[in-house]
Amino acid sequence: MTAAILSLSAVAFTLEYAVTNVANLSHGEILTVGAYAALVVHQRTGSALAAALAAAAAGGLLALAMHAAVVDRFIRRGTPTLVIFIATLGLSFVIQNLLVIRFGAANVAYTIPSGAPFELGPFLWTAVDLEIIVSALAITAVLYLIISHTKFGKALRAVSQNRELARVSGINADVVASATWFLAGLVAGYAGFILAESVGTFNPSFGFGFFLITLTAAVAGGLGRAFSTMVGAIIVGIALEFVGGYVSAGYNLAFAFAILAVVILVRPRGLFVNARRSVFE
Amino acid sequence: MNSQAPEPVAALAVEGLTAGYGGPPVIENVSIRARLGEITAIVGPNGAGKSTLLKAIAGLIRPTAGRVFVEGSEVTGQPAERLVRRGLAYVPQVANVFPDLTIRENLEMGGYSRKAGVRERIEQLFKLFPDLKGSAHRQANTLSGGQRTMLALARGLMVDPAVLILDEPSAGLAPRFQGAIWERIEEIRATNVAVLVIEQNTRETLRHAQWAYVLVLGQNRLEGPGHDLLNDDEVVDLYVGRLS
Ligand SMILES: Nc1ncnc2c1ncn2[C@@H]1O[C@H](COP(=O)(O)OP(=O)(O)O)[C@@H](O)[C@H]1O
Ligand SMILES: [Mg+2]
């Protein structure tokens, strides 16, 4: 489960990075806001589907706003990337505190009755597990098709590889970057929903904790490269599940950083970046 | 009265352009013209501001003074992505292809602003650059330097530009590739494109250029037909060298 959720979160993060060169430290809050949106809508409508859509929509709009109000605004002024990076950290705390004001700092429960577990292969599954895996695979497939085959997807890659050349080719890089953040926000908001479903409780710093693991996975795979990131996320996710299952979930973060440290020492540009034929770009 | 035919509108006219990167201007009050079916060259020492001039024309940096016209209509200050639609294509000196896109995708991006005919245009350009056709599905970063330059030219040509601006297309290439690049540029010129080119190899460039400008310290210094400048003592002393 962690692997599936992590790969969605990490791909969204890496897309944000790809078109702006800014590591968005408020990425976790997209997941958190997605989770709260899902909770609110679920309570009102009683529909998990409506909750999922609300999470994605809230995430998309939040990411769009982050890009327009902070990231793009600073980029246009020629602000150094490091400063923008710090600004997104500030934004993260602002959003967390707004959530505390609105919803309180305490954990809220978000449990969906998932029915009796059943056996499939060597594992025990619940309906929620299945929903998470299947939806993550479907979203991944759709993202792959968009990024590799559509005109927008090619423009996205062009902007990420060389913004000036994209512009002189006639691509409006600002529009492509905004649309990419929106798309990433949809995915991250939905990831917040399934993470909340799978954990069962959350609070305003919920996404921030998961973001640290997301960062590990994205950097391990190769930042800014959608499908390398995804493979990195799956490996880190499976490793974490292993540690969580056999040692203690309390060591998750420490273990994630250990993986990151090893990767940075051995392959500073990411596990798959120098592979002759990279999975994607 | 001497009734002279009115001079045809220049494909590209730059008048008194001043631009830089936020600090003091790098180019000041520069004026140039480029005509359809001609190669126009800009030569001058390193750091003279040649690349900066091209970036200002292409809309990547905003001029602080002066005007730019494409085929008679003013485009001053328009952003790069809009200028492509006005028929102005720019090929930067370095980082002039999308490394992780395939050759075909690079060309598709070059034709991003076309409403139709992308596929047909790619086929036409494969005739002009046969080397690219065989490797259409390879990533651009697997190409040799010469092939990469060909791809960069072809990407710029995707929009059927009236004006093609080239920043040192043969820089860093082996001499035999430089010759091939000049052949392509001559072929492009012959299709009635206005080619504006910067080059390091001043002698070779002046041989090809119908008209050339010498830019020094960000300002116009001299201009004239390429062949005349080749015989100009100052130009030869400063930028060509007597033995080269
Ligand atoms: N991106 C930039 N930011 C600031 N200054 C620049 C930039 N690019 C070039 N310059 C400066 O502008 C001047 C002219 O450079 P350039 O236009 O590249 O000259 P040329 O192409 O004739 O060699 C140089 O002094 C260079 O340092
Ligand atoms: Mg230059």
User: Is B110 near ligand 1, meaning CB less than 6 Å away?
Assistant: no
Give chain B's largest Cα–Cα span.
Answer: 63
- Interchain contact, A168 vs B112, CB within 8 Å: no
pLDDT in the model for residue B98: 96
Q: B91 — phi, psi (to 5°)?
A: -115, 110
Residue A165 has its nearest CB partner, among B22, B59, B96, at B96
- Amino acid present at B74: E
Distance from CA of B193 to the nearest CA of A (A): 18
Residue B60 has its nearest CB partner, among A168, A171, A281, at A168
- DSSP assignments along chain A, one per residue: -HHHHHHHHHHHHHHHHHHH----TTHHHHHHHHHHHHHHHHHHH--HHHHHHHHHHHHHHHHHHHIIIIIHHHHHTT--HHHHHHHHHHHHHHHHHHHHHHH-SS-EE--------EEETTEEE-HHHHHHHHHHHHHHHHHHHHHHHSHHHHHHHHHHH-HHHHHHTT--HHHHHHHHHHHHHHHHHHHHHHHHHHH-EE-TTHHHHHHHHHHHHHHHH-TT-HHHHHHHHHHHHHHHHHHHHHT-GGGHHHHHHHHHHHHHHH-TT-SSTT-SS-S--
Q: Could you tell me if residue A241 is inside a domain?
A: no
Q: Could you tell me if residue A112 is inside a domain?
A: yes
Provide the pairing of β-strand B219-224 with B211-216. Answer: antiparallel
pLDDT in the model for residue B177: 85
CB B197 within 8 A of CB B220: no
Residue A216 CA to chain centroid, in angstroms? Answer: 12
Which residue, among A163, A169, A276, would best test binding to B if mutated, counting the most B CBs under 10 Å from its CB? A169
Q: Could you tell me if residue B58 is inside a domain?
A: yes
pLDDT exceeds cutoff 90 at B216: no
- Interchain contact, A281 vs B95, CB within 8 Å: no
Q: Could you tell me if residue A142 is inside a domain?
A: yes
Record the pTM.
Answer: 0.89
Q: Could you tell me if residue B4 is inside a domain?
A: no
User: Is B52 near ligand 1, meaning CB less than 6 Å away?
Assistant: yes
pLDDT exceeds cutoff 70 at B196: yes
Identify the domain containing residue A111 by its residue range: 2-204
Distance from CA of B236 to the nearest CA of A (A): 34
CB < 8 Å to B98, chain A: 157-158, 161-162, 165-166
User: Is B35 near ligand 1, meaning CB less than 6 Å away?
Assistant: no
Identify the domain containing residue B209 by its residue range: 12-240
- Interchain contact, A168 vs B98, CB within 8 Å: no
Select the more confidently predicted residue: B34 or B173: B34
Residue nearest to atom 3 of ligand 1 (CA): B21
Ligand 1 centre and the CA of B47: distance in Å? 6
User: Is B12 near ligand 1, meaning CB less than 6 Å away?
Assistant: no
CATH number at residue B168: 3.40.50.300
Q: Which residue of A lies nearest to B107 if distances are taken between CA atoms?
A: A169
Ligand nearest to the CA of residue B171, numbered in listed order: 2
Q: Which residue bears the tokens 């007597």?
A: B242
* Tally of structural domains, chain A: 1
Q: Which residues are within 8 A (CB) of B47 and not within 5 positions of it... i.e. 6 or more apart?
A: none
CB < 8 Å to B110, chain A: 169
SS3 B80: helix
Q: Could you tell me if residue B1 is inside a domain?
A: no
Q: Which residue of A lies nearest to B22 if distances are taken between CA atoms?
A: A78
CB < 8 Å to B109, chain A: 154-155, 158, 166, 169, 171
User: Is B87 near ligand 1, meaning CB less than 6 Å away?
Assistant: no
For the segment B164-169, the average pLDDT, to the nearest whole number, is 96
Provide the pairing of β-strand B163-167 with B88-91. Answer: parallel
pLDDT tens column, A62-107: 999 999 999 999 988 888 888 998 999 999 999 999 999 999 999 9
pLDDT in the model for residue A119: 74
CB < 8 Å to A168, chain B: 58-60, 80-81, 83-84, 89-90, 92
State how far the alpha carbon of A76 is from the alpha carbons of A17, A23, A67, A87, B60, in Å: 16, 17, 12, 15, 13
In whole angstroms, give the CA distance from residue A72 to residue A70: 6
- Interchain contact, A157 vs B90, CB within 8 Å: no
Which residue, among B61, B81, B121, would best test binding to A if mutated, counting the most A CBs under 10 Å from its CB? B81
Please choose from B51, B61, B213, B238 the residue to mutate so as to test ligand 1's pocket, defined by most ligand atoms within 8 A of CB. B51
Q: Could you tell me if residue A222 is inside a domain?
A: no
User: Is B94 near ligand 1, meaning CB less than 6 Å away?
Assistant: no
Distance from CA of B158 to the nearest CA of A (A): 9
pLDDT tens column, B61-113: 999 999 999 999 999 999 999 999 999 999 999 999 999 999 999 999 999 99
Q: What is the pLDDT along chain A (281 residues), one digit of tens a residue?
A: 788 899 999 999 999 999 998 999 999 999 999 999 999 999 999 899 999 999 999 999 999 999 999 999 998 888 888 899 899 999 999 999 999 999 999 999 987 766 677 777 766 777 788 888 899 999 999 999 999 999 999 999 999 999 999 999 999 999 999 999 999 999 999 999 999 998 889 999 999 989 988 888 888 777 767 777 877 888 878 877 776 655 555 666 677 677 777 766 666 665 555 443 333 43
Q: Could you tell me if residue B7 is inside a domain?
A: no
State how far the alpha carbon of B75 is from the alpha carbons of A72, A172, A235, B33, in Å: 25, 17, 52, 14
Q: Which residues of A touch B (CB under 8 A)?
A: 78, 151, 154-155, 157-158, 161-162, 164-173, 278, 281
pLDDT tens column, B231-242: 877 777 766 655
Provide the pairing of β-strand B73-74 with B27-34. Answer: unpaired
Distance from CA of B80 to the nearest CA of A (A): 5
Sheet containing strand B39-43, edge to edge, reads: B88-91, B163-167, B194-198, B39-43, B211-216, B219-224
pLDDT in the model for residue A100: 96
Q: Which residue bears the tokens 């391990």?
A: A220
Burial of B68 (0-12, 13-18, 19+ CB in 10 A): buried
pLDDT band at B46 (very low <50, low <70, confident <90, very high): confident
Q: Could you tell me if residue B96 is inside a domain?
A: yes
Ligand 1 centre and the CA of B173: distance in Å? 22
pLDDT tens column, B118-143: 999 999 999 999 989 988 999 999 99
* Tally of structural domains, chain B: 1
